[in-house]
Each structure stands twice: as structure tokens, then as C-alpha cells.
Structure 1
Amino acid sequence: MANHYYFDIKLKLRDPDAVVLTPALFRSCVLDALDSFFCEEKPTLEIVKFSAQQHRVVFRVPEELHDMTRISIEHISHYQQIPCHFEILETSKSSLDFEKSIEKTLSGLSSSED
């Protein structure tokens, strides 16, 4: 059984209204970065969760591509010719769900205010 890593990524755009954010375009941007930096064949990059409103995505890559993927993502500076920054919020060997992490953060904030 192949081992995988999950990445929770937030895309920060200079002009969010100037782009179309779709799972396919996001995936293509990351795959192009991998190809540009490492000249690797297009690896398996599976989108597990996507939110255009939050500019977030959780995707899964094979374990052997973890380091190359992390480095590539940190160096992406444009999305559809718009300056941007891809922020890696979390990586994990177990499945990630950014909606649960948001709920956990919000519940932690409300209990700390008590």
C-alpha cells in the first residue's frame, strides 16, 4: 500500500477578483511548479477538499514526493499571472479536513474568552 502525505494549502492572492479559482487550475499550477523546479513527470496529486471561497485546498501526494512538493509550493509566486503566495497551513500523513480545523480553532477561541 502506497503511503501519502496530505497538504492543507491557502492561496493568498494580490488581486483575488482577477482569477478563476478551480480545483483543476490549482492542481495544474502546483504540477507546473513541480515540473519547473524538478523536471519530474507529472505525479499523482489528488485534490481531497477544495473551497474557492476560502482559497483553500487539501491534496494528497505520494510520500516520496513530499519534500519536492513542499519546496515547489513554497516557490510559487503567480497564479494565472497574478502575484500570489501559497501558504502551507499543515501537512500530515493522515487525512486533513480544513473545515474541522476551522471549527477546532473557533471553539478554542470561544473557550479561551470565558
Structure 2
Amino acid sequence: MIKYTYLDVQLKLQDDTDATLTPAYFLGSINNSLKSLFGEIGGQTELEIIEFSIDKKRGIIKVPSDYNRRVRSAIALIGYYQDIRCHFRVFQESSKLLNL
């Protein structure tokens, strides 16, 4: 049985006037960072957005527990979102969705 970790992640943009914020772009940014950091094979993992708020630029991501460190490292190294300077912040991490 695969165990999962849930991450509460927020995107902070330097200038959000031109940004298109969707769950797909949000998750794609994290996936691109994973592939860039760990390569094509090492960056392959199943990420899933459980909940997403466009207004708050915040989402809850479901990550296999074995890949939690890789995903957190990749999130920390993201510096651009659609060519706009940014950073992602992980507010909470939990092994149970209800704890978030």
C-alpha cells in the first residue's frame, strides 16, 4: 500500500498581473522543477492536486511519501512561474488530509 503525504503550498508572485493561474500550470511548474532537478527518470512521480484556490494562489498536493523530500526540494528551487519571479511556500505537511 502506498502512503501519501499532503502538502499545503502557496505561490507568491512578484507581479501577478500577467500570470495565468490554473491548477494545471501550478502542478506543471512543480513537475518541471522535479524533472530539472532529478532528471527524467528521477523526477517521475504521481502528484495530484486535491484542492486549489485561485484567489489565494494556494493548493493541497498529494505526494507519495517516498518522494516527499524530492518534491519539497523541487518546490524550494522554483524561481519563475510563467517568466515571472516567484517562490513557493509550504505551509503545512501531513500524512492525513484532515489534519490540514
Using the size of structure 1 for normalisation, the TM-score is: 0.81
Flag the structure with more relative contact order, 1 or 2, with Cα contacts below 8 A and sequence separation at least 6. Answer: 2
Aligned to 1:25: 25
RMSD: 1.3
Write the deviation string for residues 14-61 of structure 1: whole angstroms up to 9, x where unpaired. 011210000001111000000000112431001000001000010101
Compare CA radii of gyration and give the structure with the larger one: 1
Question: Which structure shows the higher strand fraction?
Answer: 2
Superposition pairs of residues 102-113 of structure 1, within 5 angstroms: none
| Unaligned ranges ≥5, structure 2 | none
Aligned to 2:3: 3
Identity, in percent, stands at 35
Q: How many residues align?
A: 98
Amino acid at match of 2:11: L
Q: Is structure 2 residue 55 aligned with structure 1 residue 78?
A: no
Structure 1's consecutive aligned runs of 4 or more residues displaced over 2 angstroms after TM superposition are none
Aligned to 2:94: 92
Using the size of structure 2 for normalisation, the TM-score is: 0.92
